[in-house]
């Protein structure tokens, strides 16, 4: 069976968020463990790709027809870790100075990408059985297959999956885009099939037309069917609920491994984690000029409202004024960056802030910290909490989406430390967030045995891709058998 992932970002070539990690890790896992399956990824060739490091070969050149435009397209190919990457190259659309998204013509850019994917499927020497699409950027592909290419002997037979990583971004565009970009009729909008909030939504198109829909944790799949938790998608997802499942993401066990990680100060595993964590914390506090001998709470995150900034702010101030250190690596909303810089000025030797993304400091932070703060407003899956556990660092999470599915919270009342591997609270409230932080401090200060056991539980938590990739494979097979 041949599966093609269509994604607007994929490691090791491009990344703004967890989507890039998932596409790469899941493909790698399937390519390695499932002999006989061809796993390929199609993604844009962005200007930021390191062309010296990765030697691409020009595989095909063709024109993509977008209504009256004919757009020259090169397909650049590389095989990397068992995955065939096909990158769609048109510098006018993708080699821009700046980030991957957020341009005035994003609708056109990803319409072009989607049409180029269809052309690629026609050209490949092997038949694609399943195309696995991700988020709004490739949401139109299932619609194109069923509305424009259903009679095509190759494309018409391809089955499709849409995975929703972030329901906030709907891919809203004007009605004209349907004909202008895709050569599709306005009727698709007027009939309501791809209309959301009075606009064309490419995410909704994926929900309506994909043969299967997934999201990245079972709890988020449930939330997406409720008016409160769905960001406006509940109605459409309830209509498709028989073909909709939540599969929790795994994480890359090779990149994040305290036993072999070259970026941390001292390697450790389940046998010597107490010593390992202590040494990492000491070295971290020394390097970043934090007072020694205190519990360390940390955040590694994009600073966006989704991540629960108000709660992070309150928790940081609370733990530091109760005798802890706090470290943060991240960037995003200006008001949040200002807040953390000010917090550092207020507690010079107890707060350390790095505005930006610093991979090495992030690794050191995961290894050195006692607690990892992640009180998201919503979190389809989340990766930071899993990485933290992998390093024996206890996450403190708001129990939403994947955070609920991956952390077993400590309960003070029943003292369930034998099973717990983190702390959690349900409501998005400062009061509850501070209560959970207070519990973490209490366990650290007065229940050292419980604390050690919980760390060990975290180190033992299984967040590998083994099980999730098997679930995806089952889905692919199920679709492939549907004729
Ligand atoms: C999005 C979600 C995050 C998830 C990631 C990968 O970034 O916000 O929760 O982990 O996608 O699926």
Distance from the CA of 350 to the center of ligand 1, in angstroms? 30
Q: What is the mean pLDDT of the chain?
A: 96
270 alpha carbon, distance to own chain's centre: 27
Ligand 1 contact, 384 CB (< 6 A):
no
Length of the chain as a residue count: 483
Residue of 165, 251, 401 with the most ligand 1 atoms within 8 Å of its CB, for mutation: 165
Architecture of domain 2-250+466-480: 3-Layer(aba) Sandwich (3.40)
Q: Are 365 and 300 in contact (CB under 8 A)?
A: yes
Ligand 1 contact, 165 CB (< 6 A):
yes
Q: What is the mean pLDDT of residues 291-296?
A: 98
Q: How confident is residue 24, by pLDDT bands cut at 50, 70 and 90?
A: very high
Ligand 1 contact, 382 CB (< 6 A):
yes
Q: Is 201 left (phi over 0), alpha (psi -120 to 50) or beta?
A: beta
- The total of other beta-carbon atoms located within 10 Å of residue 403's CB is 29
Q: How far apart are CA 119 and CA 112, in angstroms?
A: 11
391 alpha carbon, distance to own chain's centre: 19
Residues 6+ apart with CB under 8 A from 36: 1
Residue of 340, 345, 344, 291 whose CA lies nearest to 312: 340
Q: How far apart are CA 231 and CA 161, in angstroms?
A: 20
Residues 6+ apart with CB under 8 A from 280: 264, 265, 266, 268, 364, 367, 368
Tell me: pLDDT of 119 over 90.
yes
Distance from the CA of 48 to the center of ligand 1, in angstroms? 22
Handedness of CA 339, 318, 258, 13 (dihedral sign): negative
Q: How confident is residue 296, by pLDDT bands cut at 50, 70 and 90?
A: very high
In the prediction, which pLDDT does 472 show? 96
Q: Are 76 and 57 in contact (CB under 8 A)?
A: yes
Residue of 7, 20, 216 with the most ligand 1 atoms within 8 Å of its CB, for mutation: 216
Distance from the CA of 380 to the center of ligand 1, in angstroms? 6
Q: What is the mean pLDDT of residues 29-46?
A: 89
Ligand 1 contact, 409 CB (< 6 A):
no
Ligand 1 contact, 386 CB (< 6 A):
no
In the prediction, which pLDDT does 349 show? 97
Structure confidence by residue, pLDDT tens digits, 448-460: 999 999 999 999 9
In the prediction, which pLDDT does 70 show? 96
Measured by CA distance, the residue closest to atom 6 of ligand 1 is 18
Q: Is 411 left (phi over 0), alpha (psi -120 to 50) or beta?
A: beta
In angstroms, the Cα distances linking 445 to 277, 281, 400 are: 16, 16, 28
Q: How far apart are CA 291 and CA 283, in angstroms?
A: 11
Q: Which atom of ligand 1 is nearest to the CA of 383?
A: 10
Q: pTM here?
A: 0.96
In the prediction, which pLDDT does 78 show? 98
Distance from the CA of 378 to the center of ligand 1, in angstroms? 10
Residues 6+ apart with CB under 8 A from 240: 207, 208, 213
For 357-411, list the strands marked E by DSSP: 371-374, 394-398
Q: How far apart are CA 301 and CA 397, in angstroms?
A: 13
Distance from the CA of 434 to the center of ligand 1, in angstroms? 25
Residues 6+ apart with CB under 8 A from 241: 225
Structure confidence by residue, pLDDT tens digits, 305-339: 999 999 999 999 999 999 999 999 999 999 999 99
Domain extents in the chain: 2-250+466-480, 273-460
Q: How confident is residue 133, by pLDDT bands cut at 50, 70 and 90?
A: very high
Run of H or E including 196: strand 195-196
273-284 burial, b for 16+ CB within 10 Å, e for fewer? beebbebbbebb
In the prediction, which pLDDT does 241 show? 98
The CATH superfamily holding the domain 273-460 is Glycogen Phosphorylase B; (3.40.50.2000)
84 φ, ψ (degrees, to nearest 5): -85, 115
In the prediction, which pLDDT does 231 show? 95
Structure confidence by residue, pLDDT tens digits, 418-477: 999 999 999 999 999 999 999 999 999 999 999 999 999 999 999 999 999 999 999 999
Q: What is the mean pLDDT of residues 409-413?
A: 93
Q: What is the mean pLDDT of residues 395-416?
A: 96
Distance from the CA of 349 to the center of ligand 1, in angstroms? 33
Residue of 21, 375, 382, 388 with the most ligand 1 atoms within 8 Å of its CB, for mutation: 382
Structure confidence by residue, pLDDT tens digits, 265-278: 999 999 999 999 99
Tell me: pLDDT of 36 over 80.
no
Distance from the CA of 17 to the center of ligand 1, in angstroms? 7
Residue of 342, 345, 410, 407 whose CA lies nearest to 376: 407
Residue of 5, 19, 229, 399 with the most ligand 1 atoms within 8 Å of its CB, for mutation: 19
In the prediction, which pLDDT does 288 show? 97
Residue of 148, 147, 130 whose CA lies nearest to 42: 130
Q: What angle do CA 38, 41, 45 make, to 5 degrees?
A: 150
The reply to whether domains 2-250+466-480 and 273-460 share a CATH topology is yes
Ligand 1 contact, 219 CB (< 6 A):
no
């Amino acid at each position: 069976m041949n599966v093609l992932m269509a994604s607007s970002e994929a490691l090791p070539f491009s990344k703004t968020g967890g989507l890039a990690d998932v596409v790469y890790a899941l493909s790698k896992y399937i390519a390695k463990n499932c002999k006989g399956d061809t796993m390929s990824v199609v993604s844009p060739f962005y200007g930021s790709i390191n062309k010296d490091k990765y030697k691409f070969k020009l595989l095909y050149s063709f024109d993509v027809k977008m209504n009256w435009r004919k757009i020259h397209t090169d397909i650049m190919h590389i095989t990397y870790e068992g995955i065939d990457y096909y990158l769609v190259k048109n510098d006018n659309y993708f080699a821009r100075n700046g980030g991957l998204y957020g341009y005035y013509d994003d609708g056109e850019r990803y319409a072009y990408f989607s049409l180029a994917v269809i052309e690629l499927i026609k050209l490949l020497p092997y038949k694609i059985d399943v195309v696995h699409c991700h988020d709004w950027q490739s949401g139109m592909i299932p619609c194109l297959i069923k509305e424009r290419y259903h009679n095509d002997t190759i494309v018409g037979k391809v089955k499709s999956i849409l995975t929703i990583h972030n329901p906030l971004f709907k891919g809203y565009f004007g009605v004209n885009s349907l004909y202008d970009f895709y050569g599709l009729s306005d009727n698709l909008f007027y009939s309501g099939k791809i209309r959301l909030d009075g606009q064309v939504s490419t995410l909704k198109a994926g929900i309506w037309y994909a043969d299967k829909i997934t999201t990245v944790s079972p709890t988020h799949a449930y939330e997406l069917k409720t008016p409160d938790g769905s960001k406006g998608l509940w109605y459409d997802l309830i209509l498709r609920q028989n073909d909709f499942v939540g599969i929790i993401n795994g994480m890359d066990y090779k990149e994040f491994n305290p036993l072999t990680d070259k970026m941390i100060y001292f390697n450790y595993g389940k046998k010597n984690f107490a010593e390992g964590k202590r040494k990492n914390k000491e070295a971290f506090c020394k390097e970043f000029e934090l007072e020694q001998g205190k519990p360390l709470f940390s955040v590694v995150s994009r600073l966006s409202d989704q991540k629960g900034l108000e709660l992070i702010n309150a928790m940081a101030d609370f733990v530091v004024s109760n005798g802890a250190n706090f470290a943060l690596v991240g960037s995003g909303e200006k008001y949040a960056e200002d807040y953390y810089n000010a917090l550092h000025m207020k507690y010079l030797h107890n707060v350390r802030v790095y505005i930006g993304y610093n991979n090495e400091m992030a690794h050191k932070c995961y290894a050195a910290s006692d607690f990892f703060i992640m009180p998201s407003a919503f979190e389809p899956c989340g990766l930071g909490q899993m990485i933290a556990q992998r390093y024996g660092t206890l996450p403190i999470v708001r129990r939403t989406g994947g955070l609920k599915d991956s952390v077993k919270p400590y309960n003070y009342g029943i003292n369930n430390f034998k099973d717990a591997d983190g702390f959690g609270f349900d409501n998005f409230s400062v009061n509850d967030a501070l209560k959970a932080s207070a519990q973490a401090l209490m366990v650290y200060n007065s229940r050292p045995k419980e604390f050690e056991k919980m760390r060990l539980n975290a180190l033992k938590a299984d967040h590998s891709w083994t099980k999730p990739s098997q679930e995806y494979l089952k889905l692919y097979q199920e679709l492939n058998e549907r004729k």
